[in-house]
Amino acid sequence: MKKLKHEAELFKAALLAGVKYAEGRGAVEFEPTDSASQKLLYVYRLLIHDRVIQPLPEDQVSELTMRHKIAIWYSKQLPEDHPLLR
């Protein structure tokens, strides 16, 4: 797994975008008490269900790999000259 240049920042933005996607779709309403891990798992599973991203093999699913997968998904939506892609 190749680490992205600004992966931590990309993940934070990706999680916000994923939460907005899930809530906009009407699939869920997150509570302020929901942890980032809970949101990550839900967004990851929803994106797989909607066939937006390819699933990881079940034996490779971990918080670290899900964070990476979500960051990659989000990075592909950004324009090429976005500061997080430099």
CATH placement of domain 7-25+32-77: 1.20.120.1930
- Give the tokens for residue 18: 């994923």
Which pLDDT value is given to residue 77? 93
- pLDDT mean across residues, the chain: 93
Tens-digit pLDDT profile for residues 29-65: 999 999 999 999 999 999 999 999 999 999 999 999 9
Q: How far apart are CA 48 and CA 69, in angstroms?
A: 11
Please give the model's pTM, rounded to 2 decimal places.
0.90
Distances from the Cα of 33 to the Cαs of 38, 43, 65, in angstroms? 10, 16, 23
Per-residue pLDDT, 57:
95
What pLDDT band is residue 86 in, cutting at 50, 70 and 90? confident
> Rounded to whole angstroms, how far apart are CA atoms 33 and 53?
27
